[in-house]
Amino acid sequence: MRSYNRQADQMRPISFTRNYLMHPEGSVLVCYGNTKVIVTASVEMGVPRWLKGQGKGWVTAEYGMMPRATGTRTQREAAKGKQSGRTQEIQRLIGRSLRAMIDLEKLGEITIVVDCDVIQADGGTRTASISGAAVALIDALEWLQRNKKLSQDPLIGLVAAVSVGMKDGKALLDLDYAEDSSCDTDLNVVMSQAGGFIEIQGTAEQKPFTRAESETMLSYAEKGIEQIIKAQQAALGW
Amino acid sequence: MRSYNRQADQMRPISFTRNYLMHPEGSVLVCYGNTKVIVTASVEMGVPRWLKGQGKGWVTAEYGMMPRATGTRTQREAAKGKQSGRTQEIQRLIGRSLRAMIDLEKLGEITIVVDCDVIQADGGTRTASISGAAVALIDALEWLQRNKKLSQDPLIGLVAAVSVGMKDGKALLDLDYAEDSSCDTDLNVVMSQAGGFIEIQGTAEQKPFTRAESETMLSYAEKGIEQIIKAQQAALGW
Amino acid sequence: MRSYNRQADQMRPISFTRNYLMHPEGSVLVCYGNTKVIVTASVEMGVPRWLKGQGKGWVTAEYGMMPRATGTRTQREAAKGKQSGRTQEIQRLIGRSLRAMIDLEKLGEITIVVDCDVIQADGGTRTASISGAAVALIDALEWLQRNKKLSQDPLIGLVAAVSVGMKDGKALLDLDYAEDSSCDTDLNVVMSQAGGFIEIQGTAEQKPFTRAESETMLSYAEKGIEQIIKAQQAALGW
Amino acid sequence: MRSYNRQADQMRPISFTRNYLMHPEGSVLVCYGNTKVIVTASVEMGVPRWLKGQGKGWVTAEYGMMPRATGTRTQREAAKGKQSGRTQEIQRLIGRSLRAMIDLEKLGEITIVVDCDVIQADGGTRTASISGAAVALIDALEWLQRNKKLSQDPLIGLVAAVSVGMKDGKALLDLDYAEDSSCDTDLNVVMSQAGGFIEIQGTAEQKPFTRAESETMLSYAEKGIEQIIKAQQAALGW
Amino acid sequence: MRSYNRQADQMRPISFTRNYLMHPEGSVLVCYGNTKVIVTASVEMGVPRWLKGQGKGWVTAEYGMMPRATGTRTQREAAKGKQSGRTQEIQRLIGRSLRAMIDLEKLGEITIVVDCDVIQADGGTRTASISGAAVALIDALEWLQRNKKLSQDPLIGLVAAVSVGMKDGKALLDLDYAEDSSCDTDLNVVMSQAGGFIEIQGTAEQKPFTRAESETMLSYAEKGIEQIIKAQQAALGW
Amino acid sequence: MRSYNRQADQMRPISFTRNYLMHPEGSVLVCYGNTKVIVTASVEMGVPRWLKGQGKGWVTAEYGMMPRATGTRTQREAAKGKQSGRTQEIQRLIGRSLRAMIDLEKLGEITIVVDCDVIQADGGTRTASISGAAVALIDALEWLQRNKKLSQDPLIGLVAAVSVGMKDGKALLDLDYAEDSSCDTDLNVVMSQAGGFIEIQGTAEQKPFTRAESETMLSYAEKGIEQIIKAQQAALGW
């Protein structure tokens, strides 16, 4: 039996709480079941040095996990003095995914920094982060528009992400922690609102997967992402 | 006029939400007005190497601020690769304060690690952290007792903390960010449930303060802390 | 026209030079066209602390790029004092891929550390590293066997890797640097000798890709990997 | 019996040796009994980037301890690669204290960096550092005046610092190491020449202290600081 | 018997392979027997900040060892997060030696960064690096000339380096690893093409050496360096 | 005219003040003219992990410079987070030199850590450090003997060090900062009490030096070191 009594191709309950914090231009609490991530989008006028003078903007992401987001305490990366390979891999993934939402030329010399801080982890923290960040990013764009910082609309469209896995020969959508730890294959998929693939990252944890399994997993992902995008749109009042 | 329409010797609204997260042995969301801190208490059987074999326990604290807890984004310490002097000063203060709650001999060879993560900052993050951590620590002790890990009760009593300031010759209790930035003196006070002083840290930001001002500020602090301890007790159902 | 006058579904010339260095238990110079990587496999008796006492072995990988492997000089990571996110992402990918070659239980408490050092980069350094490392790992296993360190054969089979991309609506196998920099989608695929997928990492660099494009890319990858595995086998004299 | 045969409210012998080194604009060897600190004040024309263009100056402090200033060797912070929380806390305290001596607007865009290096530690290294630094800072101001770098006199007045403790219910002024290690409360006090409080940092090491004890300790501190300021003035020939 | 059947005052076979890599302005594979170092010289227009505006150029060097250049695996410095004292000592030595080849005033505001990466170590890696770097540097100068970046010829002449040791009272030229590990004294000598000494670094590993031994070692070094310079010249077609 | 009115082959006034600090087993203030270094020798029972169980001792050295030992302030290495290449090179040199004084087998499993902290720099800080450390090391050995920690006498003899330079074709003994900055060649020499060479490190700063110049410099060094050893012996009361 899966958590929340769900079928193999069903998502956990998902929610997006906008304006979760008072300071950021965009802030969202995103929940995929028990996985909870605070996402903020911060506007900074100007761009990093390597991009200066090209008239283009930049979107970047950072990811962190509170030490006790997990079942046993994880050492604080600020105390260790460096971010783990996993953290860097995830924040690179989030950044690339969000840049697919924005026409950087139209954004102009503005940077949007997205921070995803996991306060409770139960599987799918990177996919929840991406979907939540998409909403926070929209709010930051609206802030820019309200404050007359944009001359054109740089938005291409939403993105959303979900994980799929193979366990005992069966595909499962939106893995929770227990499923993620025991599955044979773990596939993270990021898609655009228009239905195109942005990122596919599949890893055979136990044994190689087949072409057919890959097909099934992608179909499940498409189904899940369609539903997530509806929830994002509802939260945004679109 | 002060925020929340309050008098010079009044606290902001304070709240303690216990069991805020699913994984930790103790977890509390503490609010002092708009200042919001997630505090967790994690039990680790065993003690740090330097304490091994002495039959004593240890309580330590770490402190962090989410990058967008503040009005403008603060660089993530994990990305910078080190904790600021301010962070280290605060976590040392929190740790010392919490150790005053516990008879470490009676705790036995157990470590409790408290994490204070500020998700929204509006002045008083260190004092809110201490007061919230006291509650989370109690929950962790109860977890230890429920799980038969303690042979004696190591609790001495609660601690709580509040800031007081001098502004234009007038004392103010529980400074918010605007007051904190503009006051002449900033005094953080940590007290025990029994009314003793654990820590006093007073800093003249603009001009030196007098013995009499110090007296007034300490009286305000006593008043505030009495009220905080009542709120802690209410949250704990004592 | 592609480099080496090749068709869209053709590999660059590939080669594996075994015993490239005198000290390591396994060492291979792998070339994919102008991309050249020195791969070594080092045997260390014993396992990392977190794995001790479980009777299992470990395979891990590190990746580096000589400063002038690239068209303009890249700062030395040892001088910067940390490995980039890209480096960590790649070495995690190589490590996972190689662990799919080995039954760690049968390896016993032995660690094999694979080092991939790129001396000349022209696209596909991570895929060349994986394919070369597979050969070096076999040599290290043979060294272990010759030296009577193994009680059973831990080898599951070879793995190999290749990149595929979409450019102007057309799939291209084994991208060189010029193609990699200008393509719309970049997909890295790792497969087992038996034809199963170990890793799929696809990224839409410019615009999202479709399900059909994903299918074509995977087919090209299968074709390329079949050829690489033949070259590995030839090098190994299998 | 206290060291140097002194009463509870007596200081250890204190001394300030000016022009201790040949290179710095101000340099002082300060001794509080066996505690010996070399303090230098270095003038740097210009201010840190964050202060540029505001016409204001800056005073900052760094603190270090020679590895064998202590009874057993302490690891060199330069070798560990980071400054401890204690070090950072102390140098922040020294910096704040010294900035209370100077009208930064009148200083103009000049930075004075104070370095306090403990060559022998026997309790009170931070308070000795502050009192010594006050003298070195005056010498640096005089150097600036002699070299016509100042258009106005930025000096507000001297500061001095001392520790007080509670031990077995009795207050003790100017704790040496043995007293500091065994006392119940440790209070560091920084005051201005005019008798105002700059910093009060009280910590209950063993058990909470009372309002009355705090009063006694502050009175002792006032007495000690009066004497230190006289010694500073004598050293300066005021 | 020495390796390669050589006399006490004979070098191992040495070789310089120019244009070893496709990207760098100068690149050489240098071998002293089994010691193999890839040396590259990278041209960067402009100079480090501290040298700006003086019309002078700069030559600097970095040194690294691939983890399995050695008999047992050495930890990767990029993974450790810092370069060892040995590495820094060597790269400082290489840099100083190469700057003796060039009139920096005539070079103009151009930087040449030399990277020496040891792929196989068997004694003499620093001396082989210097001799190989001298050739790569010449190639970089020629690249500058071909590309009309130089207004004058900044070359002073070649430099070359060799080690000499004392073992059981006997001098030995060009120590391999086995000799280096067991000798009493190790002397590294860098000389100019014109026969002057650039660097002499002698260390008594086991017992002090005498004036007379120093004389013999220097004579051996002169002999070896003469031969190395001939090989450099042959490789350069001079 | 040289400082202190001295001839080309004369030393600056040198002095060794023993028992300079209260805590260390050996402590010396060494002065070579205006160059002043505090040297301490700390005894630690036991040896580093890599030496355990071999019955041998260890002697190691660390070197630091107070920020304002120099004419302009040098950034504190503890604040930068790493020791410079120069610092590491010097502490490696000091360590090797001191190990030539001691039969490590006879020392047994004891470590002596020598710290050299330059409080005032005027040329020759590394050579003064070595000569001063030799005296502090003797005092630490005597402490070990008084405390019955040694079963045999591990002392081989004193070492001492001095710099020599070539300036305008003339050799100069014991360079001060002004000479060191302007000379053509800088040679540091470490010798044993018995007259053997421990270390020779010569660097042509401006132009190569000849065999004959090397001879003259070594003769000057021998003369200087003879005198330093006499001063060490006098300080030790030998």
Asked if B204's CB is within 8 angstroms of D210's CB, the reply is no
Asked if E209's CB is within 8 angstroms of F218's CB, the reply is no
Taking contacts as CB-CB distances below 8 angstroms, the residues of chain C near E70 are 23
Whether the predicted model's global pTM rises above the 0.95 cut: no
Q: What is the pLDDT of residue A205?
A: 83
**What does chain F come to in residues?**
238
Taking contacts as CB-CB distances below 8 angstroms, the residues of chain B near A68 are 21, 23-24, 27, 40, 42, 115
Q: Please check whether residue D200 is in contact with residue D154, taking contact to mean a CB–CB distance below 8 angstroms.
A: no
Please compute the mean of the pLDDT values over residues F121-128 and round it to a whole number: 98
Residue of A nearest to C88 (CA): A85
Q: Please check whether residue A59 is in contact with residue A114, taking contact to mean a CB–CB distance below 8 angstroms.
A: yes
Q: Please check whether residue E94 is in contact with residue E133, taking contact to mean a CB–CB distance below 8 angstroms.
A: yes
pLDDT surpassing 90 at residue D118 = yes
For residue E22, report the phi and psi dihedrals to the nearest 5 degrees: -80, -30
User: Which subunits sit against A, judged by 3+ Cβ pairs under 8 A?
Assistant: B, C
Asked if D85's CB is within 8 angstroms of B88's CB, the reply is yes
Beta bridge partners of F187: F164, F202
Question: Tens digit of pLDDT for each residue in F140-195?
Answer: 999 999 999 999 999 999 999 999 999 999 999 999 999 999 999 999 999 999 99
Q: How far apart are CA A78 and CA A62, in angstroms?
A: 13
Q: What is the pLDDT of residue E147?
A: 98
Question: Tens digit of pLDDT for each residue in C185-202?
Answer: 999 999 999 999 999 999
Closest Cα in chain A, distance from residue C204 (Å): 5
Domain carrying residue E222: 3-236
Strand order in the sheet with F35-45: F14-18, F26-32, F35-45, F110-120, F58-65
**Domain total of chain A:** 1
Taking contacts as CB-CB distances below 8 angstroms, the residues of chain C near E68 are 21, 23-24, 27, 40, 42, 115
Question: Tens digit of pLDDT for each residue in B14-58?
Answer: 999 999 999 999 999 999 999 999 999 999 999 999 999 999 999
Torsion A45-A51-A53-A57 (CA) sign: negative
Q: How far apart are CA C139 and CA C159, in angstroms?
A: 14
Q: Chain D within 8 Å of B91 (Cβ-Cβ)?
A: yes
| Annotated binding-site positions of C for phosphate | 86, 124-126
Q: Please check whether residue D236 is in contact with residue D230, taking contact to mean a CB–CB distance below 8 angstroms.
A: no
Q: How far apart are CA D137 and CA D132, in angstroms?
A: 9
What is the rounded average pLDDT for all residues in chain A? 97
Taking contacts as CB-CB distances below 8 angstroms, the residues of chain C near E119 are 21, 38, 117, 119
Angle at D6 between CA D5 and CA D10, to 5 degrees: 165
Q: What is the pLDDT of residue C206?
A: 79
Question: Tens digit of pLDDT for each residue in C87-109?
Answer: 999 999 999 999 999 999 999 99
Nearest neighbour of C89 by CB, restricted to A89, A100, A214:
A89
Q: Chain B within 8 Å of D51 (Cβ-Cβ)?
A: no
| Annotated binding residue F126 | yes
Taking contacts as CB-CB distances below 8 angstroms, the residues of chain F near E195 are 208
Q: What is the pLDDT of residue A206?
A: 79
Q: Which residues of B36-49 are buried (b: 16+ CB within 10 A; e: fewer)?
A: bbbbbbbbeeebee
Taking contacts as CB-CB distances below 8 angstroms, the residues of chain B near A87 are 78
Q: F6 CB contacts (<8 Å, ≥6 apart)?
A: F12
Q: How far apart are CA C229 and CA C194, in angstroms?
A: 10
Nearest neighbour of F62 by CB, restricted to D64, D79, D87:
D79
Please compute the mean of the pLDDT values over residues A136-164 and round it to a whole number: 97
**In this predicted complex, what is the ipTM?**
0.95
Q: How far apart are CA C31 and CA C125, in angstroms?
A: 9
Taking contacts as CB-CB distances below 8 angstroms, the residues of chain A near B68 are 21, 23-24, 27, 40, 42, 115
Nearest neighbour of B78 by CB, restricted to A71, A83, A120:
A83
Please compute the mean of the pLDDT values over residues A184-191 and round it to a whole number: 96
Asked if C88's CB is within 8 angstroms of A85's CB, the reply is yes
Q: What is the pLDDT of residue B206?
A: 79
Nearest neighbour of D120 by CB, restricted to F22, F67, F113:
F22
For residue B98, report the phi and psi dihedrals to the nearest 5 degrees: -70, -35
Please compute the mean of the pLDDT values over residues A218-229 and round it to a whole number: 98
| Annotated binding residue E216 | no
Q: How far apart are CA F221 and CA E214, in angstroms?
A: 14
Asked if D204's CB is within 8 angstroms of B199's CB, the reply is yes
Q: Chain B within 8 Å of D80 (Cβ-Cβ)?
A: no
DSSP state of E3: G
For residue C170, report the phi and psi dihedrals to the nearest 5 degrees: -120, 135
Please compute the mean of the pLDDT values over residues D64-90 and round it to a whole number: 96
Closest Cα in chain F, distance from residue E32 (Å): 24
Task: Name the region of D124 (left: φ>0; alpha: ψ -120 to 50; beta: rest).
Answer: left
Q: C155 CB contacts (<8 Å, ≥6 apart)?
A: C101, C102, C103, C138, C141
Q: How far apart are CA A221 and CA B5, in angstroms?
A: 52
Q: How far apart are CA C103 and CA C105, in angstroms?
A: 5
Asked if D24's CB is within 8 angstroms of F117's CB, the reply is no
| CA-closest candidate to residue C81, choices B81, F66, B45, F5 | B81
| CA-closest candidate to residue A100, choices C167, C207, C188, C168 | C207
E206 pLDDT band, cuts 50/70/90, is confident
Q: Chain D within 8 Å of B157 (Cβ-Cβ)?
A: no
Q: How far apart are CA A159 and CA A150, in angstroms?
A: 21
Taking contacts as CB-CB distances below 8 angstroms, the residues of chain C near E84 are none
User: Which subunits sit against D, judged by 3+ Cβ pairs under 8 A?
Assistant: B, F
Nearest neighbour of B204 by CB, restricted to D198, D209, D214:
D198
Mutation for D interface: B211, B222, B226, most D CBs within 10 A: B211
Asked if D196's CB is within 8 angstroms of B209's CB, the reply is yes
Closest Cα in chain A, distance from residue C196 (Å): 5
Taking contacts as CB-CB distances below 8 angstroms, the residues of chain B near D201 are 200-202
pLDDT surpassing 90 at residue D84 = yes
Q: Chain E within 8 Å of C73 (Cβ-Cβ)?
A: yes
Nearest neighbour of A200 by CB, restricted to C88, C100, C202:
C202
Q: What is the pLDDT of residue F185?
A: 96
Asked if C208's CB is within 8 angstroms of A100's CB, the reply is yes
Question: Tens digit of pLDDT for each residue in F46-84?
Answer: 999 999 999 999 999 999 999 999 999 999 999 999 999
D206 pLDDT band, cuts 50/70/90, is confident
Nearest neighbour of F40 by CB, restricted to D27, D68, D71:
D68
pLDDT surpassing 90 at residue A146 = yes
Q: What is the pLDDT of residue A1?
A: 84
pLDDT surpassing 90 at residue C23 = yes
Closest Cα in chain C, distance from residue E164 (Å): 24
Between helix C125-146 and helix C211-236 the angle, nearest 10°, is 40
Taking contacts as CB-CB distances below 8 angstroms, the residues of chain D near B204 are 100, 196-199
Question: Tens digit of pLDDT for each residue in F94-120?
Answer: 999 999 999 999 999 999 999 999 999
Query: What type of residue sits at position C4?
Result: Y
Q: Chain F within 8 Å of D115 (Cβ-Cβ)?
A: yes
pLDDT surpassing 90 at residue A230 = yes
Q: Which two tokens stand for residue A4?
A: 């929340």
**What does chain C come to in residues?**
238
Nearest neighbour of D92 by CB, restricted to B85, B194, B197:
B85
Nearest neighbour of C92 by CB, restricted to A85, A196, A197:
A85
pLDDT surpassing 90 at residue D193 = yes
Q: Chain E within 8 Å of C211 (Cβ-Cβ)?
A: no
CATH code, A215: 3.30.230.70
Q: Please check whether residue C140 is in contact with residue C42, taking contact to mean a CB–CB distance below 8 angstroms.
A: yes
Q: pLDDT tens track of chain B, all 238 residues?
A: 899 999 999 999 999 999 999 999 999 999 999 999 999 999 999 999 999 999 999 999 999 999 999 999 999 999 999 999 999 999 999 999 999 999 999 999 999 999 999 999 999 999 999 999 999 999 999 999 999 999 999 999 999 999 999 999 999 999 999 999 999 999 999 999 999 999 999 999 878 999 999 999 999 999 999 999 999 999 999 9
Asked if E198's CB is within 8 angstroms of F200's CB, the reply is no
pLDDT surpassing 90 at residue A106 = yes
